[in-house]
Amino acid sequence: MESQLGLIEKSFNTRYSPWVREALEELPHNFTITDPTISGHPIVFASPGFLKMSGFRREQVIGNNGRMFQGPKTNRKTVMEIREAIREERAVQVSLWNYRKDGTPFWMLFQMSPVFSKEDGRVIHFIGVQVPILTNKRSTDDGADAAWNEIVFGSCRREVCSDSLVERGRVLALDTYTNCRGVETEEPWEARELEKERAATAINNILSVLTCYSRLACGKRCSSPAAGLINSSLNISLGRINQSFVLIDPHLPNMPIVYASDAFLKLTGYDRHEVLGCNWRFLSGVGTDSSVLNQIQESIQVEQACTVCFLNYRKDKSMFWNLLHMSPVRNATGKIAYFVGVQMEEKCKSQDRHGLSPETRQLSAVGAVKVAVRSLSMGASCSKSSDRFNTL
């Protein structure tokens, strides 16, 4: 958990200036920011408005997946629509039935948008804006919506608005949509144009802050993703594999590492940004047997698996014997997409608590990686086939 929190902290620190959090917290919107490059696609930022709306404390939200706000009446089809948008790295807007900490359900308009890197076009974050759907009617009798609209979109500057006025507007809005407590409905409430405008405004404001405090972030894909860099969907799938491994792209110059698992980072002491883009030999040192490195290189050239044990070095220069299994990973068409290298410290060459040998555990990791890569490439092939069919 400590290493996960460290990754979450670095999710912001390595991409934005130190003042970005303060600027985000000044925004009046209800939103979260998630990082698809971290295992589990966790929330790395939650706005004060979102915390107040949901009833959760910040420490209860940060590090968790957005699934924590779903419940028995949350529409599975809508959830799959969001997951598909994440896989395809695109924006989505849906009506979603979510739950607060006290179990109160409510309808909200959920709008999600990716944040891209200007350098290579990769998705570095997702913004998720939540706008409560206050009522299913076009107008309200108690004037709550008018009061809320005046507070959010009024001409007065935010810093001179009194706390009591802001709180009054929030209370009025909360009173309106808390009437849905205990309502068992499967039909989504339709969001009005005003609520859609609020969501769009929030997305634009958040993106403006992120781009202002970073030279890397932008709201549109400013460049094509660099060849070999894996997308967020594969990142999420690989993050579920709890073993030390790296993914290597043999089609790029110098065969760089394009994915490194959390367990690998823990074993070697490196940060993820220090590993990605490096050649697979970067753990070698003066005591590394060059003949073993040649053996690995030859197995890659002939597209065959190999298992070796050789001396490697951590970031702090300490040595360890690395039991490495390298294997090719083919996509759905049978072509080699990557090589996976599964590492295990030699002193851990004993059966685990389930009675599995090191070799079995390594082969299990290789199998899981192959399933993830093939599943993604099959999905992409089906999508392209569907697009061609639709144009006929």
Return the CATH number at 42: 3.30.450.20
What's the pLDDT at 266? 93
DSSP state of 5: H
In the block, tokens 């949901």 appear at 54
Do 125 and 239 belong together in one domain?
A: no
Q: Taking the complete model, does pTM exceed 0.85, yes or no?
A: no
**Of the candidates 162, 195, 218, which is a domain's last residue?**
218
DSSP state of 64: S
Do 242 and 135 belong together in one domain?
A: no
What's the pLDDT at 163? 42
The answer to whether the beta carbons of residues 190 and 117 sit under 8 Å apart is no
Domain that holds residue 344: 232-391
Do 199 and 277 belong together in one domain?
A: no
CA distance 371 to 129: 33
Would 18 be classed as within a structural domain?
yes
Do 268 and 311 belong together in one domain?
A: yes
Q: Vertex 325, ends 338 and 343: CA angle to 5°?
A: 95
Do 197 and 253 belong together in one domain?
A: no
Would 121 be classed as within a structural domain?
yes
Do 250 and 344 belong together in one domain?
A: yes
What's the pLDDT at 188? 62
Would 363 be classed as within a structural domain?
yes
Contacts with 268 (C-beta within 8 Å, 6 or more apart), sequence order: 275, 283, 312, 314, 315
The three-class DSSP label of residue 215 is: coil
CA distance 27 to 91: 21
Cβ neighbours, 10 Å, residue 96: 22
Q: Is 193 exposed, middle or buried (0-12, 13-18, 19+ CB in 10 A)?
A: exposed
Domain count, the chain: 2
What's the pLDDT at 216? 63
Cβ neighbours, 10 Å, residue 141: 7
Do 32 and 158 belong together in one domain?
A: yes
Return the biggest CA–CA distance within the chain: 80
Do 176 and 239 belong together in one domain?
A: no
Helix, strand and coil in the chain, % to nearest 5:
45, 20, 35
**Of the candidates 218, 241, 261, which is a domain's last residue?**
218
Would 227 be classed as within a structural domain?
no
Would 99 be classed as within a structural domain?
yes
Do 118 and 148 belong together in one domain?
A: yes
Would 122 be classed as within a structural domain?
yes
CA distance 320 to 311: 6
| Structure tokens belonging to residue 298 | 């030859």
**Of the candidates 157, 192, 218, which is a domain's last residue?**
218
Mean per-residue pLDDT pooled into runs of 10, the chain (392 residues): 66 83 93 90 94 94 92 90 87 92 92 85 90 63 43 37 41 40 53 88 90 70 52 81 92 87 93 86 92 93 93 94 94 88 77 66 91 72 42 34
Would 306 be classed as within a structural domain?
yes
What's the pLDDT at 189? 73
Do 171 and 81 belong together in one domain?
A: yes
Do 139 and 32 belong together in one domain?
A: yes
Contacts with 289 (C-beta within 8 Å, 6 or more apart), sequence order: 310, 311
Would 226 be classed as within a structural domain?
no
Do 212 and 245 belong together in one domain?
A: no
Q: What value does the CA radius of gyration of the chain take, rounded to a whole number of Å? A: 24
